[in-house]
Amino acid sequence: MISLDWEVLKRAVEWLEEGHSAHLFTLVQTWGSAPRLPGAVLVVREDGHLIGSVSGGCIEDDLADKARSLSLPKMPTTIEYGVSQDEAQRFGIPCGGRLQIFVEPLHHALQLQSLIENIEQQKLIKRSVNMITGEVNLTEGRSGSMPAIEGDWFHSYFGPKWRLLIIGANQLGAVLAHIAQTLDFEVLICDPREDMRAEWHVEGATWMYGMPDDVVLDMAPDMHTAIVAVTHDLKLDDMALLEALKSNAFYVGALGSQKSQVKRRERMRMFDMTEVEIARLKGPVGLSIGSRTPAEIAVSILAELIQVRTQHRLVAEKLSGAELEAESTCAAIVIAG
């Protein structure tokens, strides 16, 4: 499985190839509370069948009804929900939120085929659509970019937006790799043990050859990279962690009990690691949800990873907002002067 967006677009292409028409809905802007973030997509067939989501469900039902009654727009346009308090309550938008959605009529598979092919090749693609004319441009996306409106254009991103390096090709690593891909992670696997590599069969994950510390150094982890060590081999896990904790990776975690993590931190101090670097380690890795099986542990790891990722995103948004406010203040001072 590549990603949920891929599933939505792929199903839309199948419908179009079967002779159906459909509409692509993209959430482009929200005000107040909203169930989904900008960039979320939904496809509704002319008979009301749908896949994807742009809200908590009620808006999807309304769009399906509009499709069945042939009242959806025939040309690219934007629509809004939750403009009034009554409408917000009717469609289940919390706290008086408001959504702006861009609507694109779909008539043939070629409208989405190129985008799907790029996603299948694990490329991060920037899809820019003119909300007035419906013109679409596909270009290479940059890691960390967020969906945004720029004039008449809306820029959204498809494909792996984050990287996850898993140290350990065991059963836990395999489940982790499967689920992470649905969360828009480019999954990288490192395990120098030949017997583990021979039994690895997870599609979509990229095998990284070499010792864990060399792999971490070579990939140059950035603020959109997470690294998780799950080999159960202290030497291999520690090799990766010693380099990962010095990097810019936003998340570094390691499997192991509380007792083993205490010993691991003691070993790290022997390698001139600072207390700040050691404190970055998430260990025992994952949220405490009573997980025991590989699948449950994988869920707990990804839950914590998403939690940390969201915290970083909120901080980045606040900093961006502060910068914009500072620029406006400076501009006002210049004008006043």
For position 3, what pLDDT does the model report?
Answer: 74
Tell me, yes or no, whether 323 lies in a domain: no
Between these two residues, 128 and 146, which has the higher pLDDT value?
A: 128
The answer to whether the beta carbons of residues 126 and 145 sit under 8 Å apart is yes
What's the residue count for the chain? 337
Residues 52 and 179 in one domain: no
Residues 61 and 121 in one domain: yes
Q: At a CB cut-off of 8 Å and minimum separation 6, what does 24 contact?
A: 12, 41, 42, 43, 103, 104, 106, 112
Residue 240: domain span: 162-309
Mean per-residue pLDDT for 137-142? 92
Query: Can you read off the two tokens belonging to residue 121?
Result: 């090749």
For position 66, what pLDDT does the model report?
Answer: 93
- Name, of 27-36, 207-216, 309-318, the range with top average pLDDT: 207-216
Q: Which of 125, 158, 191 is the last residue of a domain?
A: 158
Q: Identify the bridge partners of residue 78 per DSSP, sorted by sequence position.
A: 102
For position 296, what pLDDT does the model report?
Answer: 96
Between these two residues, 244 and 312, which has the higher pLDDT value?
A: 244
**Coil, strand, or helix at residue 190?**
strand
Q: Identify the bridge partners of residue 22 per DSSP, sorted by sequence position.
A: 45, 106
The angle subtended at Cα 120 by Cα 110 and Cα 191, nearest 5°, is 175
Over residues 154-204, the pLDDT tens digits come to: 999 998 888 999 999 999 999 999 999 988 898 999 999 999 988 898 988
For position 299, what pLDDT does the model report?
Answer: 97
Q: At a CB cut-off of 8 Å and minimum separation 6, what does 13 contact?
A: 109, 112, 113, 116
Tell me, yes or no, whether 328 lies in a domain: no
- pLDDT at 1 > cutoff 90: no
With bands split at pLDDT 50, 70 and 90, how would you rate the model's confidence at 317? Answer: low
Between these two residues, 90 and 45, which has the higher pLDDT value?
A: 45
Residues 178 and 131 in one domain: no
Its sign, for the CA torsion 42, 124, 146, 178, is: positive
For position 85, what pLDDT does the model report?
Answer: 60
Average model confidence (pLDDT) across the chain: 88
What is the domain count for the chain?
A: 2
Picking from 12, 39, 177, 163, the residue whose alpha carbon sits closest to that of residue 101 is 39
Residues 274 and 153 in one domain: no
**Coil, strand, or helix at residue 318?**
helix
Residues 202 and 289 in one domain: yes
Residues 151 and 253 in one domain: no
Residues 31 and 137 in one domain: yes
CA distance 276 to 278: 6
Mean per-residue pLDDT for 20-47? 91
CA distance 252 to 217: 14
Residue 245 sits in a domain whose CATH number is 3.40.50.720
Residues 248 and 204 in one domain: yes
Residues 202 and 119 in one domain: no
Tell me, yes or no, whether 86 lies in a domain: yes
Residue found under tokens 């949800």: 289
Residues 140 and 178 in one domain: no
For position 318, what pLDDT does the model report?
Answer: 65
Residues 150 and 257 in one domain: no
With bands split at pLDDT 50, 70 and 90, how would you rate the model's confidence at 330? Answer: very low
Q: Which of 109, 133, 158 is the last residue of a domain?
A: 158
Residues 36 and 136 in one domain: yes
CA distance 305 to 311: 10
